[in-house]
Amino acid sequence: MKNIPCYSLDQCSPNEGTILLNVRDYNDSCHCEIPSAIKLPIPYINRHIKEIPHSQIHLVASSPLEKNVGIRMLRKKGFKVVGFSMPECQCTK
């Protein structure tokens, strides 16, 4: 997705009012815990969308496909995605 910045997980410190949403599969997310993140894998987003506080979202995904699907689903539900991280990504931003 264009215009959404990528941050390494080390640099990721969401602003107040930004939710850290981990959409990785439970098997992937258990190897790289993110304590402050809400864990909600892609297949569960529609079912549990009301559990996500309605504010800005910083997405944590394990692949570009997962990131794109997550961003599209969240935007469709009215959320604003302001950034993303992928543990395997070597981004410099």
Torsion, Cα of 83, 13, 18, 46 (10° steps): 60
CB 18 within 8 A of CB 82: yes
More confident position, 32 or 82: 82
| Of 55 and 71, the one with more pLDDT | 71
Which residue's entry shows tokens 């995904």? 61
Strands, E assignment, the chain:
18-22, 38-39, 56-60, 80-85
Q: Is 61 within 8 Å of 70 (Cβ atoms)? A: yes
pLDDT value at position 57? 92
**pLDDT single digits (tens) 26-36:** 766 555 677 78
- What backbone phi and psi angles, to 5 degrees, belong to 64? -60, -35
